[in-house]
Copies of this chain bind each other. A is one copy, B any other.
């Protein structure tokens, strides 16, 4: 397919490289041009303005946050102004449902197609085509994009015609991961102070009821207190918890555990931990218990 790709960070860069390798025709755009070079070397065409990436079958956006996507979508010469009819804008970033809804409405008004397709997975998963893709929007459009999704991910989940549904699921998934981080932090602070060997405890958990990637990956990081380099930085964790709370705020859904997580991330950032992996919130349970020092 002929695809524009906007946003070439750790995730976007790896995804774009896979699409190129699979034979898709890519035009790439990134605000800071240096990120485009490796992809151009792999055969991508370079766009120097957003509008130049808005031709062909689809344009994928994979940007860091709402602000970046809002600018890219609504600025003069942005996506809404530039997308050809027939082209599908595939929004793969983790963003707010309010922005997702606004972009969906703007595209609809302009007669353009839009689907939301945020992903679960870290940069290594992106590079290996092992992402999980949560897609929502008009069914035929989502199906038509499966050619791309199958290169990027190991499985695509279809969440219905309302694009925001995919965004809510993505935010809820990240909330659930952060909940695991908090619960592991508390459990480990408790068992550690009680004199239990931390590796033995983690082994019990991951060999029994908690035999899932999220407990294994993060459990090891917590036991080893290895929060650098960040796979997913605390600032992003806070951003996503904020977005989940914003959904609750909008719909009148109290989320006490998400509120606790928000306070944890704020404390971590206040103590200088913004660039640590988000699993570093677990350290706060230790420092609250008078054990060890606050990160970093």
Known contacts A172-B191, A259-B262, A260-B257; A209/B204 CB under 8 A: no
Partner pick for A172 among B177, B187, B247, CB 8 A cutoff = B187
Interchain CB contact under 8 A, B270 and A182? no
Which A residues contact B (CB, under 8 angstroms)?
97, 120, 132, 134, 155, 157-160, 162, 164-165, 168-169, 172-173, 175-177, 179-180, 182-184, 186-187, 189-191, 193-197, 200-201, 203-205, 207-215, 242, 244, 247-249, 251-260, 262-264, 266-267, 269-272, 285, 288-291
Most buried by B among A175, A176, A179, A270: A270
Contacts of A179 in B (CB 8 A): 179-180, 182-183
How many subunits of this chain does the assembly comprise? 4
Inter-chain CA distance A242–B212, complex, in Å, is 27
New A-B contacts (4) at CB < 8 Å, excluding given A173-B209, A183-B183: A173-B205, A175-B190, A256-B259, A266-B289
Question: A208's closest neighbor in chain B, by CB?
Answer: B132
Question: A166's closest neighbor in chain B, by CB?
Answer: B196
Partner pick for A186 among B208, B258, B264, CB 8 A cutoff = B258
